[in-house]
Structure 1
Amino acid sequence: MSLQDSGIPEPQGDGPAGPRPAPEAARRGRPRSEAVEQAIFDAVAGLLEEGVPLAELSIERIARTAGVGKATIYRRWPGKEELFVELLRSLEPEDPVLTGTSVRDDLVMLLETLRQRGLAKRSSALLHNVFSQMHAYPKLWDAYQDTVIEPRRRLGMDTVRRGMELGEIRDDLDVEFVNDLFIGPLLLRTVIRPGATLEPGLAERVVDAVLAGLRPRP
């Protein structure tokens, strides 16, 4: 039986009601333990794999499963939405490091990352489970959009903008629209048609086909 269930007040420093260290203080304190964070991630993943809905995954339950105090979690994440987003990022392929030497090659790298993420979602029951529930939790979905999707989208638009400046892509079109032309086929096959093929070489074919139609006019 937990302290909360027994009616005994919990220690003030070990929960959302108690004082939490300021971000600056947390950074100056002891370094983050990768082993502790992995134990927390494993606890969340295990609960989700057991079929526990996102709505029932409280910080208290996660902490109990991971064998840590709630304060340990709150020192790392403001709430469970941020914890879930970081867990999702840890399960996905890492964002590419663009070389900047070739607009075409950078676009291929970006689309190849999308392809790999699509494959990851198909092969991971955990990812599929979480993403199927995320839309029902606006705060979680917004956090994922702000911290994961938007930075990737800006990276794509920066690459398209560089292509326009270098004369490799026509510059009379909206940058965001052009970026959508590149990522559209991958999103179609990973979101709208989840059973469509994501074969090797798809990123190169999409980039080359779109670039052929976006060459600057004479």
Structure 2
Amino acid sequence: MAIRSEQSRRAILEATMRLLDESGPAAVSVQKLSIERIAREAGVSKTTIYRWWPSKAAVVIDTFLDNHVARTPIREDVPAIEAVREHLASLAEIYAGGEGRLVAQLIAECQDDPATMVEFKERFWTPRSRAVIQLVRRAMEEGSMRGDLDPELMTELLYSPIYFRLLLRTGALDAEATKGILHTALEGLAAGRYGVQQAYAEHSAQRWLPG
């Protein structure tokens, strides 16, 4: 990519972030943001923006991703179960701030705009969830997670508490609270002497014993 083109692209991403910064003087919501507003803030034409992005949603998602991936790493240099813990803890901590509110706005917009939903899944959700699914598979192979469950379902189970708290604000998204959430989820997925179904069967049988 030519230097001038890369400078324009960076200017667009930075302008979008300034406009979405809640503490900034020109702050707007995702819903009220427009390509025209981004172009004016970045000092470029709308044609320049459309050269790289098909829609406002795509610009916003790439603006979000610009720093998000680096701040929520999926490590390969540590045991998989440790990488899972670190990744999800970092995700929750970041979502406790401005990035979380931005994602919540994007998800809200997805409900009324199928095109935004497609962009959100293609640019953000699908690549990141695939990476975590691969991490879960590695944890299964290493024996730190149960190997008899669907890794995609396990990934959803790990992500769900964070997004539930993000969207419904039912609890904190800080390090300590997330540690408890992850501990509970990972204990349920952990490889052990017997599976959850056997433990449930034993518990059910005990309910009917006289005592």
Superposed pair shares fold, TM > 0.5: yes
Change (3 A) 1:79 1:142: same
Which runs of structure 2 are paired with 1:198-213 in the superposition (5 Å)?
Answer: 198-213=173-188
Deviates more, 1:162-171 or 1:78-87: 78-87
SS in 2 for 1:135: helix
- Select which of 115, 137, 150 maps to 2:92: 115
Q: Find out whether 1:175 has 2:151 as its counterpart.
A: yes
- Counterpart-to-counterpart distance in 2, 1:43 and 1:122: 13
- Counterpart-to-counterpart distance in 1, 2:183 and 2:133: 17
SS in 2 for 1:49: coil
Aligned residue pairs total 188
SS in 1 for 2:112: coil
For residues 41-96 of structure 1, the C-alpha deviation after alignment (integer angstroms, 9 at most, x for no partner) is: 25753798346844x72x34432343322233233323333212112334757331
Residue 126 (structure 2) aligns with = 150
Q: Find out whether 1:62 has 2:38 as its counterpart.
A: yes
Q: Find out whether 1:101 has 2:78 as its counterpart.
A: yes
Moved over 6 A (4+): none
Aligned amino acid, residue 161 of structure 2: P
Q: Which has the higher helix share?
A: 2
Residue 161 (structure 1) aligns with = 137
Residue 133 (structure 1) aligns with = 109
User: 5+ unaligned residues in a row in structure 1: which ranges?
Assistant: 1-26
Percent of aligned positions with the same letter in both sequences? 24
Change (3 A) 1:138 1:105: same
- State the Cα distance separating 1:131 from its structure 2 match: 4.5
For residues 157-189 of structure 1, the C-alpha deviation after alignment (integer angstroms, 9 at most, x for no partner) is: 111111111122221111112222322322222
Deviates more, 1:165-174 or 1:81-90: 81-90
Q: Find out whether 1:187 has 2:167 as its counterpart.
A: no
Normalising by structure 1, what TM-score? 0.68
**C-alpha contact (below 8 Å) 1:43/1:62 kept by paired residues:** no
Normalising by structure 2, what TM-score? 0.70
- State the Cα distance separating 1:127 from its structure 2 match: 5.7
